[in-house]
Amino acid sequence: MAAHMRAREGIQAERLLLDAIDRLRRKAGGGRAVHLHLSRLLPVNRLPVRIRVVARMFKSLETGHGANVYRLSNDDLVILGRALPVNEIDTIVHRVRSLFEHDPVTYAGRGWNDPNDPFVSWFDLMTDWRALSDEIARLEEARLAALQRQGSGGPVSPFSWSAPKDAGPEPIDPRALDRVLTAFEGFDITAHMRRQPAVRITEARVAEIAFEEFFVSIGHLQRGLAPDVVLTADRWLFQDFSRALDRRMLQVLTTQPLARRPGTISLNLNLESTRDPFFERFVASLGRKQGMVVEVQVIDVFADIAGYEAARDALREAGHKVLIDGLSPVTLRLLDVRRLDPDYAKVLWNADLASEQTADKSAAFAAEVKAVGPERVVLARCDTEAAVLWGLENGIRVFQGRFIDAVLGTVTMDACKASAQCSLSQCAGRRSAVAGPGRAACPNPPGLDAVQSFAAPGRRKQKQEGRR
C-alpha cells in the first residue's frame, strides 16, 4: 500500500493522473474528480505537515469508495473515482476549510455547486474531462520548466513537500496598496459580484427567501486585479481597500436591475460606508417596498461601538436592519451580543458540532444561541443538512450556505422548462452571478429567480439530488 501511494505523489502524480483521467472518461458512466487547490493558500499556511494532514483526511475514500488521491508537485490534491460520494467529500472539504479558516482562498467559494470556487473544483468526467486534463497538463509543463530553471542547482526530491520560495502572492504593504487602488479605478467588478440567499424556514417547514446577500468575491477579485498581492494579509490596509470596494459596489448596484428584485437585499459594508453619499444614492434607488440589511463585521463593531450604534439607529429609523457578521460559537461565549442589540447575528456553523463526540460543545453552543435569541440568529456556512436540522432543533429559523444553495438550485431546476439543457452546478452558478457571461448563458433567465419559497424535500431525496 505504501508503495502504491508513493507512486501517486510528487513529480510522478501529474503523469499518472493524466493517464487515469483518460482511462476513466472512456468507460461507461465516466467518473468524477475533485481538485483541491492547496497551492493557492498563503505560503505561511502551506506548511509540509499541514499538507500531509489534509492528504490523510481523504485516505478513507481509497478503501471505502475505490477512489485515488493524487498529491501533485505543487501541493494540490486531486481525488478521482467512478462513484465519488459527494456529501462525504464535501464534509471533508469543509473540515479542510476550517483548518485554513483564516486564509482568504478558503472563504471565497460557495461549495461543491459553485463553479467559481477558488479553493475546490468539481469535474464530471463525462463532460469536463478536457478542462481537468488541460489544467493538469499545465501543471506538468510548469513542473518541467521549474526543473529546467533549477538546472545545476542540485537534485529535486520527487516527493518534496516544500513550497517554492517564489510561490504565491506577497502580503500587501502601503506601496502595493497604492498600486492596487490606482488599478482599481478602471477595474470592472461586475463579473466578480455574487449573491447568496438566506432562507427562513417557517413552522410549516416552508423555506422562504428572507434576504439576498450581494457581495464581491475577494478571492476572484484578487486574482483579476492584483494576483501578486494578498489583499487581506493586513487588516488595516485591507480596510482601506474595502472602503473603495464598498463605494464601487454601491455605485454598480444603484443601476443594477437584479438588485431591485429581492424583497430584502443584504450588503456587507464597513461602518463608514453607511455615511457615504454612494450609500445614500443606493438607498434612494431601492424599490418602494424593498427592505435592506446592512451586515457589519464584529471586529469593526468593537473598533467603533459609537459608530455602530449610530448606524444601527439610523438604519432602523429608515426601516432597515443591521446584522453583526463573523460570529462563531467561541465569540458568542466571549461577547454579550445582546448589548449590541442587532436585528440579526450571523453565526458560522462548525460541522463538528453535529458529532456525538462533541455533545458538550454542541450543548454549550445551543445555550449561547438561546441567550442571544434564536429568532435573531442567521446560521451561516450550512454545508450539510445536519446544520439545518441542528438549527431547527434549537429554535433557529434563518439559514445560509451551500446546502441551502444546492436545495434551491434543485427546486429551481425542477420548476424550469429549460432544465434539460443545464446541470445543477451550472444553474447554481448562474443564479449566484449578478452579471456577466455566466448568467447570460442561462437558457431561461427569468427561471433563475422564479422560486422564492419551497417546501424542503425529505432527507432521502436531498441526498439523491445532491449527486446530480
- What is the domain partition of the chain in residue ranges? 2-138, 174-465
Please report the pLDDT score of residue 281 as a whole number: 96
Region 419-447: mean pLDDT is 88
Work out the mean pLDDT of the chain and round it to a whole number: 83
Region 1-17: mean pLDDT is 55
Q: Which fold has domain 2-138?
A: Alpha-Beta Plaits (3.30.70)
Region 236-263: mean pLDDT is 92
pLDDT band, residue 126 (cuts 50/70/90): confident
Please report the pLDDT score of residue 44 as a whole number: 74
The reply to whether domains 2-138 and 174-465 share a CATH topology is no
394/52 Cα distance (integer angstroms): 37
425/413 Cα distance (integer angstroms): 11
* pLDDT > 90? residue 9: no
Smallest Cα–Cα separation from 436: which of 218, 189, 107, 266? 189
Q: Taking the model in full, what pTM does it have? A: 0.66
Region 332-343: mean pLDDT is 90
* pLDDT > 50? residue 3: no
| Distance (Å) of CA 2 to CA 5, 7, 79 | 5, 9, 17
pLDDT tens-digit map of 73-120: 888 999 998 888 888 888 888 888 877 877 777 765 555 556 677 889
Distance of CA 114 to the CA centre of its chain: 8
User: Which three cell numbers, joined as nine digits, stand for 461?
Assistant: 431525496
* pLDDT > 90? residue 303: no
* pLDDT > 70? residue 457: no
233/167 Cα distance (integer angstroms): 16
455/468 Cα distance (integer angstroms): 19
Best CATH choice for the domain 174-465 from the list 3.40.50.720, 3.20.20.450, 3.30.200.20, 3.40.50.970: 3.20.20.450
Region 129-146: mean pLDDT is 80
Quick check: 192 and 220 in contact, CB under 8 A?
yes
CB atoms near residue 111 (< 10 Å): 23
pLDDT tens-digit map of 139-197: 777 777 766 655 434 443 333 333 343 445 678 889 999 999 999 999 999 989 999 99
